[in-house]
Amino acid sequence: MEPSLIALFVIASLASLFMAWVIGAGSSGATPFAPAVGANAISTMRAAFVVGIFGFAGAVIQGANVSEAVGRGLVGGVSLPATGVITVLLIGAGLMAVGIKTGYPIATAFTVTGSVIGVGLALGGDPVWPKYLQIGTVWVLTPIVGGGLAYGIASVLPRDDAPERYTVALLAGLVGAVLANVNVAYLGPGDSMGSLVGLAGRLLGIEGVAMAAVVTLFVAAAITLIVSWDISQDMSGGLRRVLLALGSLVAFSAGGSQVGLAVGPLLPLLGDLGMVPVSAILVGGGVGMLVGSWTGAPRMIKSLSQDYSSLGPRRSISALVPSFLIAQLAVLLGVPVSFNEIVVSAIIGSGAAVGGGEAIDSQKIFRTVGAWVGSLALALALGYGLTALLPFV
């Protein structure tokens, strides 16, 4: 292999690591525990440490779906060369770095998706309209569904006729039922992904829909009973433990989704050539996100937890439950999704349920939405324009 080509591969890999750091310092590192920090359930620095660990785990064992979509599913007929990968990652990381510096949560999914499409189209690729429709649908519905669910949950939890030992426990059971069916690496037969439900069926020698339903109900019931007992013994402590568990699951989901934005463009470049196994690429992205969470996330955690809504434990739980559900749906579909959009929408919904408009900084929300839309358009334009100009530079 020519030295110049090797140098391009090295630069592309370093750009991917930088992108992973930026993601860890921004969206995936800040949003999962922002509600918990806002509720004073955990300190900012400790939240950054924990989210880094769970984000790394999610990247390694659940990051393949979105990575494949970003690397191979956004533009048809072309494979990004090393220069294209470098362009994509530098555009995405650059815009995210601006967001971190200014304290505004620019959506990573928007910047990377826009730059991949822009670069791919400039190289003569074909638009993949069905995938764009799927992605656009998820992006548009996320604030509606996430904010709506958070609003509904937050409206119920403070009611006197809905004790937390039952309502919060049922929510925890629902999350447990979903978690039992989540596909991750190392649980499937052979090298395939699998779920706890599927693993239990294979171990017992009884597979099928009925077995899956039984295992799911068992997990949900067990978690519901444990959480109900814990809250009945210590209300504030029980709610805090539920909140931290949810934050950890959202951080895990963030790792599984966001790592694809950093390493997805590398898959056709390194994976298809057999140079580096996909699992090793995911580990590299996970390490970059881990370091980013530990070194750069505290600023964004503080911004999200304090600037968007005045949160307590109940509203924070109301925000994190829909965040986890939407994140796992996006991972299942292989859709690159913004965790800023997911969690911020849920924070807004949960805050509005109790505090109304006074609990929310509407001016900052409008600026944030503008940053999301503008970053998508700017990333697409930069990706297309820079790639079109490269032959002449």
Kindly report, residue by residue over 364-387, the tens digit of the pLDDT. 677 777 777 888 899 999 999 988
In whole angstroms, give the CA distance from residue 57 to residue 61: 6
In angstroms, how far is CA 238 from the centroid of its own chain? 26
For 200-232, the pLDDT digits (tens) are 888 888 878 888 999 999 999 999 999 999 999
Among 87, 89, 81, 68, smallest CA distance to 125 is for 81
Which pLDDT belongs to residue 373? 83
Average predicted confidence (pLDDT) for the chain: 84
Confidence at residue 220, expressed as pLDDT on a 0 to 100 scale: 96
- What does the pLDDT average to over 43-57? 89
- CA-closest candidate to residue 284, choices 273, 270, 298, 304: 270
Q: Mean of the pLDDT values across residues 293-322?
A: 76
Residue that the structure tokens 């494979």 belong to = 79
| DSSP assignment letter at 184 | B
C-beta separation of 300 from 30 below 8 A:
yes
pLDDT recorded at residue 283:
92
How much is the pLDDT for 357? 56
Does residue 272 surpass a pLDDT of 70? no
Helix (H, G, I), strand (E, B) or coil at 210: helix
Using one digit for the tens of pLDDT, what is the confidence trace for 318-333? 888 999 999 999 999 9
Tokens of 288: 């970059």
Reduce the DSSP state of residue 309 to 3 states and report it: strand
- Give SS3 for 191: coil
Q: Give the model's confidence band at 304: pLDDT under 50 very low, under 70 low, under 90 confident, else very high.
A: low
Question: Confidence band (pLDDT; 50, 70, 90) for 309?
Answer: very low
What pLDDT does 393 receive?
42
R_g (Cα) of the chain, nearest Å: 21
Highest mean pLDDT, choosing among 10-14, 33-37, 141-145, 186-190: 141-145
Q: Which residue has the higher pLDDT, 268 or 147?
A: 147
CB atoms within 10 A of CB 168: 28
Domain ranges in the chain?
3-392
Percentage of residues of the chain with pLDDT beyond 90: 34
